[in-house]
Structure 1
Amino acid sequence: MDTKSLMIDTATLLFQQKGYKNVGVNEILKACNVTKGALYHHFPNGKEELLIACLKGLNEAITIDIEDIFKKHPSTLEAIQSMIDKLIHNLETEGTITGYTFSSIVSEMATVSEPVRQACSLLYENMERIYCDKLVTEGYSQESAFEMALWMTASIEGAMMLCLTQKSTTPLKTISKLLPTILKGRTS
């Protein structure tokens, strides 16, 4: 792995685990075993530029993963439940779902940095687009599909945060259990 990729992967994990403000540049450098010069060579604007690179990497990885899941399942309900099952499995086996959650970064940085806010917004928009497109193919109107996609994004993201804080998979299991009722009959 090249130095830039190593810094992005390491910083992504650290930011997700500890939050952006709680991770110092020196901690990233030490974890990567690189110099400050290497950081500023790849990220001339420093830590915030590195964060934006991390968010872009998360965006790509999460979007690809969700698209793959949605392509494998004929319905939105099956796809979302498969995605939630994957999150639950990760939480139960790895004790975390850091590969999917970036809410801590959003809550810390979205009001402080416009470029970071935009990077976070893009990921949420990609998730909602995937959900919305699938719902439209199932007969939902564009407006209804957009509203449902927004609800699913907010519910799943909120449930992930609750799972992490409660150290329990119950919030995600509850969302999965309620989905059939919520999606039923909402095709107008």
Structure 2
Amino acid sequence: MDTKTTIINIATALFQEKGYMGVGITEILQTCNISKGSFYHHFPNGKEELLIACLKSIEKVITEDIEYIFNQYRTAHEATYALIEKLIYLFDKEDTLTGYTFASIISELGSLNEPVRIAVNSLYIEMQRIYAAKLEADGFSKADADSLALMMTASVEGGIMLCLTQKTSDPLKTVLNLLPNMLKK
């Protein structure tokens, strides 16, 4: 694995564990065992540029997984049920969902600057695109599919954040019991 990828992977894990503000450049350098010069060679604009690279990396992993799950099931109802069931399993197994959310990284940033806001929004747009496409295939109008996709994104992301703060998968279990049934045509 190349140095830049190593920095992104390690920083992503640190950001997810401690939040963006809770991780300093020094900790990243020490954990990656690299020099300050090496870090700034790969991320000349510093920690914020690294954050954006981490968010893009997470986006790729999350959207590929959602796409895979949604392609395995005939309906949005079945796919959504499977997705949330997987999240519950992961939370119960690992007591966290760090690999599946970026909200823990950016939640303490009261006002996102424009490049970070764009990177975060990109993931939400891609998730909603996947959901809406499946809902349209189920026979929902484009407008209804788009509205439901937004609600799905908010429900799943909110459920993840509640699981992390409450230290229980119960919030996602509630979402699992309610959300898929709202998607039946």
Structure 2 alignment gaps of length 5 or more? none
Distance in 1 separating the partners of 2:181 and 2:79: 15
1:176 aligns with 2:176: yes
| 101-110 or 155-164, which deviates more | 101-110
Q: Distance between the aligned counterparts of 2:105 and 2:125, measured in 1?
A: 16
- Structure 1 residues 116, 168: closer, same or farther in 2, change over 3 A? same
The corresponding residue for 1:24 is 24
Q: Which residue of 1 aligns with 2:39?
A: 39
Secondary structure at 2:100's aligned position in 1? Answer: coil
Residue 88 of structure 2 corresponds to: 88
Q: Which amino acid aligns with 1:34?
A: I
1:140 aligns to what SS in structure 2?
coil
Matches within 5 A, 1:10-21: 10-21=10-21
Q: Which of the pair has the greater relative contact order for Cα pairs under 8 Å at 6+ separation?
A: 2
1:122 and 1:139 mapped to 2: Cα distance? 26
The CA deviation at 1:163 is 0.4
Cα distance in 1 between the residues matched to 2:73 and 2:88? 18
Query: Percent identity between the aligned chains?
Result: 56
Q: Report if the CA contact (8 A) 2:20-2:108 is conserved.
A: yes
Find the residue that maps to 2:179 and give its secondary structure: helix
Q: Which residue of 1 aligns with 2:132?
A: 132
Contact 1:87 1:97 in 2 (8 A): yes
Partner of 2:123: 123
Q: Return the offset for 1:110.
A: 6.9
Which residues of structure 1 form unaligned runs of 5+? Answer: none
Give yes or no for contact 1:10–1:31 (8 Å, CA) kept in 2.
Answer: yes
Aligned to 1:70: 70
1:100-119 → structure 2 map (5 Å cutoff):
100-109=100-109, 111-119=111-119
* CA RMSD, 1 decimal: 1.2
1:108 match: secondary structure: coil
Deviation at 1:32, TM superposition (A): 0.8
Could you tell which deviates more after superposition, 97-106 or 25-34? 97-106
Cα distance between partner residues in 2 of 1:110 and 1:134? 33
TM normalised by structure 2 equals: 0.96
